[in-house]
Amino acid sequence: MEITGWGNYPVIQADGFSFETTDQLNHFLKKTDTCIAYGMGRSYGDSALNHRVVFSRRLDKILDFDSKQGVVTCESGVTLADIINTYLPGGWFLTVTPGTKFITAGGAVASDVHGKNHHKAGCFCESVICFDIMLPDGSIVACNRENNPDLFRATCGGMGLTGIILTVTLKLQPVKSSNIRETIMRCQNLDVVFDLFERYESTTYSVAWIDCQAKGENIGRSVLMVGEHADSGNLAPPAVKPSISIPFNFPGFCLNRYSISVFNHLYFRKNPGYESGRIVSLDTFFYPLDAIDMWNRIYGKNGFTQYQLVLPKAASLKGLRAILEKIASAGMGSFLAVLKLFGRENDNYLSFPMEGYTLALDFKMQPGLFPFLDILDAIVLDHGGRLYLTKDVRMKRDVFINGYPRWKEFERLRTQEHMKDKFNSLQSIRLEI
Ligand SMILES: Cc1cc2nc3c(=O)[nH]c(=O)nc-3n(C[C@H](O)[C@H](O)[C@H](O)COP(=O)(O)OP(=O)(O)OC[C@H]3O[C@@H](n4cnc5c(N)ncnc54)[C@H](O)[C@@H]3O)c2cc1C
């Protein structure tokens, strides 16, 4: 069968294995040399790709819920959408959610995903109490911060390279409404948006859309959105199905520097200079892209990649300016560029966030893209930053090693527990992890 990630690049041939019981998985692992877990395939690059993949989607049962504490235990193929649909009507929502709800609990742990509240709540795994994981020899290990802390730190953010996560127990947060009270601010450049991010640091959620083609004094022109859960309103679960669908890959010429520039200009103008107290649904605030089914086809059949970097706070302004200047002068980048503020780094070996600013932007696959991204990598490393593994499809080993100082502890555990012999992705092979 053909498989790919969300970026539709690369597309490879693979043998897929689905299972419903741990015995089936145990049997499969015993006769397989190397494989990698695959959840909903929402990671953009090659972290869930190999010539043998283990699909987790049939592990789709919610196993337990403590309605006093808001603690849910589910199998790892349960999606965040399943959790929201089941528990939002009772007043519970995810403590941390990424920009799509169509990911599995296992994928959320393996990437240690972050949301718009990292500066307040940290990563997804900060809300994870424990999980069960199957190791290379087929044994199942229960893992939390006290029991098997090494395995816990390596698996959270470990990109599926320590084993197959079977169940996840996580803490939800109480909410009174399925709405968000949002404030929107137009920002003329990077100085202004940084200033506002920091002024609104006590607000739970913040995110800025950034026009990566603005130049000169307008570099970093953006629209900042901050929000809190509304105090009252209904608790209805959001719509189940996306409202629009992209039926086929767009022809490559649709997305070029001119169409992107027009889109960015219109988007900036469409938003109010300042509007406070707007009530929007959770879907609108957290998952705007989920409303368009298969939006990744907009980039055409050659696919795209998302480049997400983080820089330490002190270096963020200078480093991001340098990066945005390079992108604007090359006429690269797309309309999906997002800026967020991160809080403190956690102690998982390969988790992405560090205290500072993160920028994520999409690039259509085209000749010259990878050498161009190598230039951006050098700026990121010069400023003490790193790239996000779950978005990556082309990073080189030295960029990984320099960005993730705890890679040696990860490597030691992988060698010691024979994980290197069993769990590998195209990404881990490329990065020699
Ligand atoms: C529109 C969109 C918005 C996004 N926004 C954000 C965001 O705001 N913040 C953010 O952090 N991420 C974001 N992402 C990325 C996404 O949240 C992660 O890539 C997530 O890991 C995808 O989960 P998945 O179930 O699709 O896993 P896959 O993409 O299938 O796999 C991702 C990784 O998890 C591993 N894995 C999956 N299941 C298991 C398992 N059972 N056991 C062990 N390893 C497993 C895979 O091997 C792979 O390394 C976004 C993605 C999209 C498409």
pLDDT at 254 over 70: no
d(CA 3, CA 15): 9
pLDDT cut 90: percent of the chain above it = 84
Ligand 1 closest atom vs CA 114: 11
Give per-residue burial for 370-408: e unless 16+ CB within 10 Å, then b.
Answer: eebbeebbebbbebbbbbbbbbbbbbeeebbeebbeebe
Query: 273 pLDDT band (50/70/90 cuts)?
Result: confident
Bridge partners, residue 128, by sequence: 170
Query: 275 pLDDT band (50/70/90 cuts)?
Result: confident
Ligand 1 geometric centre to CA of 47 (Å): 9
Residue 205, ligand 1, Cβ within 6 A: no
pLDDT at 241 over 70: no
Residue 385, ligand 1, Cβ within 6 A: no
- Stated pTM of the model: 0.96
Token pair listed for 297: 């086809």
d(CA 219, CA 189): 5
Residue 430 has what pLDDT?
98
Residue 419, ligand 1, Cβ within 6 A: no
Peptide bond into 10 cis (omega under 30): yes
pLDDT at 126 over 80: yes
Ligand 1 closest atom vs CA 47: 49
pLDDT at 98 over 90: yes
Ligand 1 geometric centre to CA of 271 (Å): 30
d(CA 388, CA 391): 6
Average pLDDT of every residue of the chain: 93
pLDDT at 263 over 70: no
Residue 260 has what pLDDT?
63
Residue 266 has what pLDDT?
66
pLDDT digits 0-9 by tens, 141-174 = 999 999 999 999 999 999 999 999 999 999 999 9
Residue 289, ligand 1, Cβ within 6 A: yes
Residue 16 has what pLDDT?
97
Mean pLDDT along residues 84-98? 97
CA distances to 171, 199, 226, 349, 357 from 152, in Å:
16, 35, 32, 9, 26
Segment among 87-96, 212-221, 340-349 with least mean pLDDT: 212-221
Residue 292 has what pLDDT?
83
Segment among 51-65, 288-302, 357-371, 403-417 with least mean pLDDT: 288-302
Neighbours of 23 (CB within 10 A): 10
Query: 295 pLDDT band (50/70/90 cuts)?
Result: confident
Ligand 1 closest atom vs CA 388: 11
pLDDT at 248 over 90: no
Residue 43, ligand 1, Cβ within 6 A: yes
pLDDT digits 0-9 by tens, 44-70 = 999 999 999 999 999 999 999 999 999
Residue 135 has what pLDDT?
98
Residue 99, ligand 1, Cβ within 6 A: yes
Residue 274 has what pLDDT?
82
